[in-house]
A and B are shown apart, each in its own frame.
Chain A
């Protein structure tokens, strides 16, 4: 696999929503003064009548999106994840999820790979916040191809969807002809030494670890969990039964994210140990994105260490 062919998933979002806007006239896009960064500026340029810059007013943006949805529009509301979930939690809860309105929240700048802007802008609790809301669907795509699929797939779901995108350029994993299935994890290999469940940009790191370990004759499987809610119980239980060790890895807090979601399935159905890799109940800090992943132990190196650890 070529890990050097990279693209930021926020760019993929920008391209995908512009292309979806072409096909579906019900799509409207709202942004909160960050269209250059979230890449909704492509849509804005192509469809100025269906693009609404709401200024630096995220709460207003989310509830306005709800109003659009009551009139049959399919609003995609975008800003940085820290504002798109934390700042507007009440608007999402009461005006979007409770009435189950057809609003898509596309959040960019998730996780520590925001980089130099530091902790205030590095959202590490968004999956936790969104996963807890009734009616909300949570998708965390791992690369360019999957991000584009998620943007279109969300438009086919009648109800609220949260999609998580990153700022930094990260490897393109999938072939453009791949077919993804909503709610179904994607398994790489059938190694029995360990399963690494990964989401978002950690999928590429897990795949790097898989290739390295293979050289040592250690065979692991990697499972890309792109749909975090509803989660693919079947693939989790099957791998729990078939492999010696389970690891989860996410660019998110270990509280309430992918690791927690998998733990819930295991607790209910097949209680075994899970090693949860992620941000360990802490805020991030400023720095180069890739250096931050090393600093917080979120690279293939630490995944390998966890596989090898007895």
Chain B
């Protein structure tokens, strides 16, 4: 049985999202490592996907009819794990074990160890190809599941992404929806200064995608975009979500330095206070 109680109201989504942000900060603080910035920028999108949009089955995570999600930007595992725990795939207490030696919650998503993770990821640029494979298999088996691929905006500097984009449109994968987390920052700085992938929308459009630009922190816009994507036939959709890296924690917002570092005790206390 796939998830039927999925249409959660926006007010509740906001509460869930806040809780997930809190868990992200706690995980990274407790692990003394991890990637808070990009996790916080995709929190709202993942919340809508798992609590409003996707057909999944927490009692049978491998249900062959389920919608699939590939977190191509695998370093944002804290966001995915917090969402999966919130959803009920595994106990929330386990989140504290993130990145520790005896934990199944690996630094980057591991589909063999973690219930609800549809694909292992970590090496950037491969998730769209994997998603294409899932979408092609769905078409071949005449199944109506959808495949979601969440990529970073820095990630799309990887060449394989564009090989894969050709494939998505060549094979008319309308059961595929790509979401680009456009927080405009990568490790070395602003993406337009390090190696600009702009204009992202025109690039995907010229590769044959239906392109939707949204504010990635506006629940209405996220919901509407995902709904629209489902109605587009014969071509894949990409949602380019303008987001804020570190969203929700004042000192992390729009700071590239918070890509891959943990807060100290003082910073942790501030973050938790801000998320109340």
In whole Å, how far is B119's beta carbon from the nearest beta carbon of chain A? 6
Judged by a CB distance under 8 angstroms, whether B131 is at the interface is: yes
Stretch at the interface among B9-17, B37-45, B94-102, B162-170: B162-170
Tell me the complex Cα distance, A74–B27, Å.
Answer: 37
Q: A91-B126, A95-B123 in contact; A68/B136 too (CB < 8 A)? A: yes
| Chain A residues positioned under 8 Å from B127 (CB to CB) | 63
Known contacts A49-B140, A55-B166; decide if A63 and B160 are in contact (CB<8 Å). yes
With contact pairs A64-B129, A65-B133, A66-B133 given, residues A71 and B120 touching in the complex (Cβ less than 8 Å): no
B1 within 8 A of A: no
Determine if A120 is an interface residue (Cβ-Cβ < 8 Å). Answer: no
- The size of the chain A interface, using a CB distance under 8 A, is 31
Whether B122 sits at the interface, judged by CB under 8 Å, is yes
Which of B78-86, B110-118, B186-194, B213-221 lies on the face that meets chain A? Answer: B110-118
* A132 part of interface (Cβ distance < 8 Å): no
- Among A54, A61, A68, A94, the residue within 8 A (CB) of B123 is A94
Instruction: Find chain B residues with CB under 8 A from A66 CB.
Output: 119, 126, 129-130, 133
Which residues between 26 and 54 of chain A lie within 8 Å of chain B, taking CB atoms? 28, 49-50, 52, 54
Chain A contacts for B163, CB-based, 8 A: 55, 57, 59-60
B133 touches A64 (CB 8 A): yes
Q: Contact partner of B132 among A64, A95, A99, CB < 8 A? A: A64
Q: With a 10 A CB-CB cut-off, give which of B64, B130, B133, B141 has the most chain A CB atoms.
A: B133
Q: B174-190: which residues lie under 8 A (CB-CB) from chain A?
A: none
Task: List the B side residues contacting A67 at CB < 8 Å.
Answer: 70, 119, 129-137
- Determine the chain B residues whose CB is within 8 A of the CB of A94 once the complex forms: 120-123, 126
A93 to B159 Cα, complex, angstroms? 18
Residues of B within 8 A of A73 (CB): 137, 140
List, in ascending order, chain A residues with CB within 8 A of B125's CB: 59
Please report whether the interface of chain B is mostly helix, strand, loop or mixed according to DSSP. Answer: helix
Which chain B residues lie closer than 8 Å to A93 at the CB level? 123
Cβ contacts B66-109/A at 8 Å (1 or 0 each): 00101000000000000000000000000000000000000000
Instruction: State whether the Cβ of A100 lies closer than 8 Å to any Cβ in chain B.
Output: yes
Q: Scan A102-117; emit 1 where CB is below 8 A from any B CB, else 0.
A: 0000000000000000
A71 interface neighbour in B111, B112, B129, B138, Cβ under 8 Å: B138
**Complexed CA–CA distance, A52 and B164 (Å):** 13
Q: Are A71 and B119 in contact (CB under 8 A)?
A: no
Contact, CB under 8 Å: B130 / A63: yes
A3 CB–B CB distance under 8 Å: no
Q: Is B136 within 8 A of A64, CB to CB?
A: yes
A70 sits at the interface (CB 8 A) = yes
Residues of A within 8 A of B122 (CB): 94
Report A29 CB to chain B, min CB distance, Å: 12
Given the complex, which residues of A lie within 8 Å of B119, measured CB to CB?
66-67, 70, 95, 99
Q: Is the CB of A95 within 8 A of B138?
A: no
Q: Which residue of B lies closest to A98 (CB)?
A: B120
A189 in the interface (beta carbon within 8 A)? no
Which residues on B sit within 8 Å (CB–CB) of A54?
167
B→A interface (CB under 8 Å): 64, 68, 70, 110-112, 118-123, 125-127, 129-138, 140-141, 159-160, 163-164, 166-167, 170-171
A-B CB contact pairs (8 Å), 7 listed: A59-B129, A62-B129, A63-B133, A64-B167, A70-B133, A71-B137, A71-B138
Besides A55-B170, A71-B141, A99-B120, 20 other A-B contacts (C-beta < 8 A):
A52-B136, A59-B126, A59-B160, A60-B164, A60-B167, A61-B129, A63-B129, A63-B130, A64-B132, A65-B133, A66-B126, A67-B70, A67-B136, A71-B137, A71-B138, A72-B137, A91-B126, A95-B129, A98-B110, A100-B112
